[in-house]
Amino acid sequence: MNTGYMEEIRLNKYLASCGVCSRRDADKLIEQGAVTVNGQIAAAGMKVTAQDEVCVHGRRLSGPDRKVVLAYYKPLGVVCTEHDAHADRIVAEEVDYPIRVTYAGRLDKDSEGLLLLSNDGDLINAMMRGANGHEKEYVVTVTEECSEKALQTMRNGVYLDELGVTSRPCRIERLGPKTMRVILTQGLNRQIRRMYRTQGYEVSSLKRTRVINIGLGGLKPGEFRELTQEETNRLYEICGL
């Protein structure tokens, strides 16, 4: 057990610091009885120290890992999931890295581009919390030329009937007749595709090029890299950690 945690900390925070999952998902694991402490089923709200033996689904945790953040270029066809018997390619199997990492924010199978992955559950929570309004930037191409009226309507926010919500105002910059740069501050399910569909347009390609302060840079599909210390420090600062 890592001796860096001699003080008591909440079990859900400990699981997140080990890269198991986010704190919210850790609470679910504890509620399901999947977590044991010193051989006993863990209780919600309990605290642990480095001297305790903590297991998830019977697997003993070795303690908090070194905090890492990866930038990964998710190719088309790769599914953002850790377990899916029906998916040919999943993120968990595509990123060959010695420390277990989890993605922050999904990209659907038919989209490509930047995913940030980390073993820090607190950072993942902070990046994904919609109220924080962190920016995500995309290059979007539609099947036919998009009118300026449609773009302005989407910039102001549109009602997404399938989700029952109105999208937040966003930035859309025209790059060509059919291609635009879109910057969102929320991450609704298939949000951009749904937004364009409200205006009668179908998205033919979608690439995420930036998440908060991290850009895709020179990464090619399937490649990943560790963030520099400067990038990591700035990301944590922006996320209030």
122 is annotated as an active-site residue:
no
**144 Cβ contact partners less than 8 Å away, ≥ 6 residues apart:** 178, 201
* Contact between 177 and 145 (Cβ < 8 Å): yes
What single string gives the DSSP state of each residue in 9-52? Answer: EEHHHHHHHTTS--HHHHHHHHHTT-EEETTEE--TT-EE-TTS
Q: Which amino acid is at 59?
A: R
Choose the catalytic residue: 25, 52, 65, 108: 108
**75 Cβ contact partners less than 8 Å away, ≥ 6 residues apart:** 94, 112, 221, 222
CA–CA distance, 96 with 175 (Å, rounded to integer):
35
Catalytic residues: 108
